[in-house]
Every structure is written in structure tokens, then in C-alpha cells.
Structure 1
Amino acid sequence: MLLRRRAVDKLGEFEASGWLFTDEALQQATAAPVAVHRAARLAATGRVVHDATCSIGTELAALRRARVDALGSDIDPVRLAMAAHNVGGGLCRADALRPITRDAVIVVDPARRSGGRRRFSPDDYQPGLGHLIDTYRDRDFVVKCAPGIDFEQLARMGFDGEIGVTSYRGSVREACLWSAGLAEPGVRRRASVLDRDEHLTDNEPDDCGVRPAGRWIVDPDGAVVRAGLVRHYGARHGLWQLDPDIAYLSGDELPANVRGFEVLERLDFDERRLRQALAALDCGALEILVRGLQVDPDALRRRLRVRGTRALSVVITRLGAGPAARATAYVCQASR
């Protein structure tokens, strides 16, 4: 029953209550909103799509819902049988590294888990990412990857398309490779924040300055940070950076529907001084955010021993570089 509840939470948009799956297959499956987002973009191409690692059928369900002419294949006969039950026909057994279609856009989601454990190296994906790129180098393709993949490693593999990073429910879910033929002209990186339906690319202005903190500090969504689009996000929303190498942004107004941290006090980071500041503000529940410094938020929270009644946040970061660098703490009130 627990597995079934997890499936409804992850795949609810597909009315998956009657689907067949295993624990590992469900872990590997794309969350429905992420798959729907990708399917909408593929639908706009007007092309036939071949999901060459269809597994239990999540991507196929999204594609067919978007009225895309889509077929699926998988090398695993058990998962293929589950997909046939879940999404119907148009399926066959095939190895993703042995193409069986000619003009279709290829979608591949290589396995990044085995025995419940994650595979972090692209060489350990099944099939391996380098082999996939080589196999479909002359084709239009879309490949799902782990969000932490090394972008420079992709360049060394010869990938020259667009890297899209997607978040959902506040968590970065995936990086997706779009071959050059499917990429938007001039775009090499994209961030999609599905909770806010916000999409940002490196083809937008990035004239974001560096200034001391204003009224608000903003911790950009993980997809924006991972895609390297913090300056672009700041330029879009009239924000500025606290430091050119740190992802925190600041502004006097908070972007709509974005959680921010209203600055109450700024001080050089020192645990004794921070404890005194928090006590003076009657802090009893503390959220700690850290960038640019080796600070364990949980351990620091225990050492600060807050005892008051007020919920506050502390943003701790490094400002400056080299001998001029200084650790700084901002005591804040979260907007929500």
C-alpha cells in the first residue's frame, strides 16, 4: 500500500492507481508534472517521438496525453509488459543503443539506480551516456540526466545542444539534454521552475550588479542555481548579488510568489555574537542557510541553543575573496 501511495503522489496526473510497477521502476520514473512539461515541448515540434527506454510508460503517458505520435521500446521484457498494461500498445523490445527508427525524435532516460543505489558517473548509466550521444549524434534526441551532472564533461563528450534543469516542489529533479536540432536558437542553458511556471535561459540579459544587502535576501530556486543563471534571474527581477561568486541575491522588493528573507540585522559571523543577536530577538526556532562557507547548519543550530518564541532565519555567507574575504551573517524574518 505504501508503494501504491507513492505512485499516486508521483504519477497522479496519469490516473496511475491501476498501474503495474516495481519499487525500483517507480523510483526511476519521471514525476508526472516533469514528464508533462517535456511532452508539451516535444508536441510543439510536430514530430514522431520514440521513447527508447520506456520502462513502465511514464514518458509515453505524458506524450500521448499531449497528442504526440509516440512509440516505446525497452530492453527489459518485464518493464515492457508493465508498460503495455499501463499505457497500451505501440511498444516493442529493443536495445536503446541499436536504433530501430529513422526520423523520430529519440527520448532516452538511462537508468541511474541499481539495487536502490544511485549511479553518479555518466559512464555508469545504463546505457552509458557517452555511448548514447555517439549512437544518436546525427539524430534529434532528448536525454534525461542526474541534475548534478558535470556540464564540462558533457562538452568533452561532444554534446553541443541545450541543457535544461527542472525543479518541482522545491527540488531539482533532473538535467535534460536537448540536441542542437531541438534547442532554441542561442540557448545553451535553461532553468524551469514548474511550481511557479517560470522559465529562464542564458539568452536573456544578465546585467546583475553587486551591492550590499537591501531589505530582502533571495535564495534562488535550485534549478536556477544549477543551470548557472543566477545573474539572469537577478536581472529579470531587479535584484543584485551580495557577492559575484555567491548565489544569494538581494533587493528592496520581493518577486511575486518567491520566498524571501527580510533582513533584521547584519553582523560578522561569530557564534557568540550571533547567539546574542538571536536571544535579543527572542528567537526560538531557527532556519539556517549557508553558501560559500563550511558550516554545518544542524550542528550550528544545536550550539546556538535558541530558547525564545519567535521563528527566524539566518543567512550565512562569504563576501569577498582572498585576504579580504569575510564571513557574514544576516538575521532575517522569512516571508513565509
Structure 2
Amino acid sequence: MAPRGAQGLVLQRDDHRGQAVLTFGRDDVTYLSSDAGVAALAEVAGYRLTDATRLADVAAIRKRFGERGTALIETTLLRRKAVAKLGDLAEVSEWLFTDDALQQATAAPVARHRAARLAGAVVHDATCSIGTELAALRSTAAMIVGSDIDEVRLAMAHHNVPDVTLCRADALRPVSRDAVVLLDPARRSGGRRRFDPRDYVPPLDALFDAYRGRATVVKCAPGIDFDAVRQLGFDGEIEVTSAGGSVREACLWSPALATPAVRRRACVLDRDEVVTDADPDDCPTRPAGRWIVDPDGAIVRAGLVRHYAARHGLWQLDPEIAYLSGDHVPAGVRGFEVLDELPLREKVLRQALSQRDCGQLEILVRGVDIDPDALRRRLRPSGRTALSLVITRIGTGAGERTSVFLCRASAALT
């Protein structure tokens, strides 16, 4: 039996990370939402709980609050993590979370983007968890309702978004009609990722069956196999979204909600740029020009590199590789100005870096099996200049070669 903490808080051992995982119970949520719990959380928020102070802080909190201290400490730490991820969405410093729920929660910019696409709709979030999507939808949707089968997360949602109608329901047993259904199946368990969409909870194929013919929006992992999704019967639009320089998710929009003629979409929220497979993709393949551009991960993941290149007057170095080149850098994009093209020979690279007084060295790799960190250690840059190496495969078969471009990176232009 797993050891228990404060009044129902279960401490389970996660062998993958070797850390204790805390599982909240309903009575924990009841306490944390009470006047006494709110006051206790306000007091615990005054502790630093850093690596340097953690032992002393935890001892003091447990002496003050007894077994309740475990739930108070965990909630305080989760709230601090949530501010960076969700802070633009709501007053999350007062929310309740579980660790898994916070990991899976949609980042604020992405949630707001989805809510904007659903402006004016009646939306049922059928896997509402702790209420992140509902918080974003409050300002755009005509009407919202949330449901979840997990009673603890639903109780947390009642605390987090008290103005939203909520009910307990199984997402595989529809309880609404004439509403857009938003679904976010779990892709983690105890910190472990699930990669097969049929292993999601609920499984993706079962969700498709349950809501066949309905207007649906399904949030998925960004690395999901697009072909596997199509084989499960999905025939709408796959949108890949990035924010803060990282690919955040893939979202499946059913045909009723998809843009006509669009099957794949990339949204780069940092630049408010949208690229779709309905855009032109006439992109040539040519040797490197003045600049090399590494497209945003959402564009690469959505398979829209050629479409992005055509929009900005760029070209590919190789038709199978995502690096682009051109005589300019698109606005808001970081580029790599080509100083030299070199062979992949470490002695040659070391001499070139030394001649240019390279100290800080960034290495980007596509199409070549090279560990950038290991290569950097072997090259031993020790100067004062920041430079970049862009290493890529060019050509196939007998004409295949590995090229190394010695570059100077630009700041993102505006």
C-alpha cells in the first residue's frame, strides 16, 4: 500500500523519475478551498522553498500544519510553476493543481489562440480537468460548460473557475448536443508520455467514434503521427502551434470547424504567423545564399517548409532538409549569416574557429548523425566571438555530402 500524507494525499513512487508523486484526494481539495486552507496557503506562500531553504522550510511547515503540510507545500510549488505557464490566463496563484494536470495544461498563449478560433461558439469542454481551457473560453465563447470523469480535478475546476457550469461525466459518453466538443485526452501518466494515440486516456479512436459527426476540437501531442491519425478516420485540419520558441501541440479540428481546403496549418504565435498547405509551395533548391534560416518548429512539424519558403522568397539547400537560404531574413526571424562553407573535418573546423576567435559556439544539425554537444567539446572553442555551425546533409546517393556552414547569428529582426 502506498504511504499516505495529509488526509488522503497519497505518496506514490514513480520509478521512472525516482521521485515521490503526490495524488490529491477530494478531502484535500475541500480543505485547500476552505477558509482555513486558503489562510494556510497564504502563510506557506511566504516560505522560499528553494534548494537552500527547503529542508528547514518543510520542517517548519509540517510543525505548524501537521499532515496538512504536504498538500500545502505541493500546492504552493505547483502554483509557482503555473505562473510562468498560465499567468496570462487567470489568477493562477490562487488555483489548485495536480502535478499531471499542470504538466498537461495548455500554455496561456495557445489556450487563448484556440479560444479565439472558437469565438461565438457554444463549447463543451468534455475533459476540462482543472479548468485551463474554460478560463480562456470565458472571454470568447457564447456559452461554455465543462465536464470531467476525475472527481478530484473537477473539484479543483470548481475552485478555479467557479463561474462555469461543471458536471461529472465520462468523455466517451456524450452529455451535450449542438455544441462544439473540446477534448484533451491524457498523454501522460506519472510523468511518462504516451505516444500511440490509442493509448491516450480516453483513446483517440474511441473519441472519434463517440463524437462522429459532431464538431470537435482535439488537443494532441505535437509529435503525433499524422498518418496514424488519418488512419483512425480523422478527415479535418491538423494545426501545429508554437509559442515561446517551442512547439506546444497539435490540434485536430473536425471538418465542420476547419478552414476550407486546409488540411495542415502551422501557427507561430510569437510572430502571429499562419502557414497552411493551401498556400503556394513553389520553392527552388539552390546553393546557400547570404543567410541560412531554420524555420520555426511548428512549420517543420506541419510539413510546410516549402510553403513558408515560397512566402518569404527563400529556397531549400536540399529538397529533403528543412534548412532554407536566401538573401534576406524574414521579419522577426533569427538568421545565420554565412561566413564560410567547410567540410566536416574536425581539424579544419578547429582551425577556422580559432582564426575567427570563436568562444561561444552554437551547433545546429539536420540530416546528419552528429551529437552537437560532443562535437563542441572536441572542437574546444576558447576565444571571445560567438559563432554558429550549421551542419547538414546535401544531396543523395553518389552525390551526397555533408556541408558545414560557419555562420554569425543575427538577433531576431523586427
When normalised by structure 2's length, the TM-score is: 0.80
Note the C-alpha offset of 1:73: 0.1
Match of 1:195 among 266, 270, 278: 270
1:47-58 pair list within 5 angstroms: 47-58=121-132
Q: Are residue 35 (structure 1) and residue 125 (structure 2) matched?
A: no
**Partner of residue 292, structure 1:** 367
**Partner of residue 84, structure 1:** 158
Q: Residue 65 of structure 1: SS of its match in structure 2?
A: coil
Q: CA RMSD in A?
A: 0.9
* Equivalent-residue separation in structure 1 for 2:398 and 2:159 (angstroms): 63
**Partner of residue 16, structure 1:** 92
Note the C-alpha offset of 1:2: 3.4
The residue type equivalent to 1:284 in the other structure is G
Q: Are residue 330 (structure 1) and residue 330 (structure 2) matched?
A: no
Deviations 1:210-268 (A, max 9, x none): 11111110000000000000000001111110000000000101111100000000012
Question: Size of the alignment, in residue pairs?
Answer: 334
**Partner of residue 324, structure 2:** 249
**Partner of residue 73, structure 1:** 147
After superposing the two structures, state which structure 1 stretch, 309-318 or 130-139, moved more. 130-139
Note the C-alpha offset of 1:68: 3.4
Note the C-alpha offset of 1:158: 0.9
Note the C-alpha offset of 1:67: 4.1
8 A contact 2:79–2:94 mirrored in 1: no
Q: Which structure 2 residue ranges, 5 or more long, are not aligned?
A: 1-75
Structure 1 vs Structure 2: percent identity of aligned residues? 72
When normalised by structure 1's length, the TM-score is: 0.98
The residue type equivalent to 1:41 in the other structure is R
* Equivalent-residue separation in structure 2 for 1:234 and 1:80 (angstroms): 45
Structure 1 moving runs of 4+ over 3 Å? none
**Partner of residue 62, structure 1:** 136
* Equivalent-residue separation in structure 2 for 1:42 and 1:200 (angstroms): 19
The residue type equivalent to 1:62 in the other structure is A
* Equivalent-residue separation in structure 1 for 2:225 and 2:186 (angstroms): 17
* Equivalent-residue separation in structure 2 for 1:7 and 1:306 (angstroms): 38
Deviations 1:112-132 (A, max 9, x none): 110121111111110001111
* Equivalent-residue separation in structure 1 for 2:86 and 2:139 (angstroms): 13
**Partner of residue 165, structure 1:** 240
Q: Residue 87 of structure 2: SS of its match in structure 1?
A: helix
* Equivalent-residue separation in structure 1 for 2:399 and 2:141 (angstroms): 58
8 A contact 2:365–2:372 mirrored in 1: yes
Q: Residue 275 of structure 1: SS of its match in structure 2?
A: helix
The residue type equivalent to 1:264 in the other structure is L
Note the C-alpha offset of 1:292: 0.4
**Partner of residue 347, structure 2:** 272
8 A contact 2:285–2:317 mirrored in 1: yes
* Equivalent-residue separation in structure 2 for 1:126 and 1:35 (angstroms): 20
Q: Residue 330 of structure 2: SS of its match in structure 1?
A: coil
The residue type equivalent to 1:197 in the other structure is D
After superposing the two structures, state which structure 1 stretch, 143-152 or 15-24, moved more. 15-24
Deviations 1:31-72 (A, max 9, x none): 1110000000011xx321100000000000101122431100
The residue type equivalent to 2:116 in the other structure is A
The residue type equivalent to 1:50 in the other structure is H
* Equivalent-residue separation in structure 2 for 1:3 and 1:97 (angstroms): 29
Match of 1:26 among 102, 110, 113: 102
Whose RCO is larger (CA < 8 A, sep 6+)? 1
